[in-house]
Structure 1
């Protein structure tokens, strides 16, 4: 049995910020491009996550998240980021 690799949380979070700041992301081999949001991790450190909160397994340390400068294609991320302003949810009730 091999010991688990040790990673310094501060340097890992810093590297993730360098990779994903100003970028979008893909999860694994998916063609879908998500916007980037930052989620709390350890001691006020943050890690990148899809803006739409799409789930995946891991922290990104094994390459599960891939930084890209491609345009966001996830419909939910586009709505959250205000990239589709004409596509708003229809109101359930017409209130005065």
Structure 2
């Protein structure tokens, strides 16, 4: 059995509502809410050209999220806090 690793790609940061699209399919997400109000973080993929929301989680002030998820290529953030993070892609046999 080959070991796999998750490689950080395409870091992002911002304040308030945003959409981040990735050139490759990602399978893990790290994000931290640097503000004091709740953010909603949603991962999405595209099936037959249509956006499909996969996973959504509220992220409270100063809270971190770091999980392996169903494959995605878009992250949508709603709220007014500042944040920073990065997706990760799996590399098998790395």
TM-score (normalizing by structure 1): 0.23
User: Comparing both structures, which one devotes a greater share of its residues to strand?
Assistant: 2
TM-score (normalizing by structure 2): 0.23
> Bigger relative contact order, structure 1 or 2, given CA contacts below 8 A and separation 6+?
2
User: Comparing both structures, which one devotes a greater share of its residues to helix?
Assistant: 1
Please tell me whether Structure 1 or Structure 2 has the larger radius of gyration of its CA atoms. 1
